[in-house]
Structure 1
């Protein structure tokens, strides 16, 4: 094995796309959960938070079951796209988005809950639609929590390993991310190479988490 920038670039790409996906999905569901009466809400939110406590290999296994070639949904995607998404960068994005979603959802929901109900009520009296309230009141007033959610989700997606390994594999120049290349380097006995990627991973994660602490101090 030799040093290459590919795992670093791919990890950034996957984490970025996964974070964008989780942001929009989390905003949608958090808005529904906060503003509407949802039947069996505790059950639904328990399902949302499962990726936080389940072993990553279990998540990877479930993704294989849902999107694999033997599943109806997997065969449908293969029919539309022309090939299976397993062992592709798309699979890595889905795995990372799945494990990062609970962090984004909880952060966005916390931000929405913290908004003064009188402000929302006044906007409704003035005739503001649900979309306008979300875009011009809920999101701006929740920016602090949302920013924390974005950073945490990106960091979690950036370091995802277990689900990615099972669902996307560890294919050099295709699906090999920083965590998987570290695993392969250690397996092959190349500890020096592993340390290089470990150092980069720690440095990037530290900077992201430090930025959250700085934002909290300023606010």
Structure 2
């Protein structure tokens, strides 16, 4: 087994999952906190849209991203103008795909965590003169720290196993966009069962350790 051929998808998967999970937690924290503390007309529709990638087939999510970020779309043209190259079929496209499919899971986890925080503590801090940012930083986030950790780990695990959306929008380019799931698909399709088993064992081990750590941290 070629060492470079084996470790390239592993390294790329870990990089994509790490960056996507950080983005998901940061964006998810801001949105989940606001959504858990505010009521407005159409809130149910907005939350339903947030959760849509959770129930849509990953290939559908990938196709929509491909249409949105492709060269024919205004977003795709704007990205190409800003960065001098299209985003589709690049490493960054894999990050976008993983972020989108992992966001609903992290959002739900964070929203439940923020809902469990005692609102009376937040109100007391505001009455004492604290701003919303100070309340979030010094009270809400520390009390919801387990939800933050769970959102990051579950998001990482979801990103690590992402296949359909990544394949659609980032492709399967060895050394550039080939992640562990897409590498397993190619290995099985080409009869390289030993490589497929090695990558499968790798992703199963990573996922098991992540879930084990999540359970231990919540005890």
Q: Same fold (TM over 0.5)?
A: yes
Deviations along 1:146-188, one digit per CA (max 9) or x if unpaired, are 1111110000001100000000000001001100100000010
Match of 1:35 in 2: 37
Q: How does 1:177-216 map to 2 (within 5 A)?
A: 177-216=179-218
Partner of residue 167 from structure 2, selected from 162, 165, 168: 165
Match of 1:48 in 2: 50
Shift, 1:104, TM fit: 1.0
**Unaligned residue ranges in structure 2 (runs of 5+):** none
| Maintained 8 Å contact 2:122/2:135 | yes
Match of 1:109 in 2: 111
Q: CA RMSD in A?
A: 1.0
| Partner Cα separation in structure 1 for residue 132 and residue 218 of structure 2 | 29
Name the count of aligned residue pairs.
217
Shift, 1:4, TM fit: 2.3
Aligned structure 1 segments of 4 or more residues deviating by more than 4 angstroms? none
**Unaligned residue ranges in structure 1 (runs of 5+):** none
Match of 1:61 in 2: 63
Secondary structure at 1:4 match in 2: helix
Partner of residue 150 from structure 1, selected from 140, 149, 152: 152
| Partner Cα separation in structure 1 for residue 31 and residue 162 of structure 2 | 23
Secondary structure at 1:175 match in 2: coil
- Per the normalisation by structure 1, the TM-score is 0.97
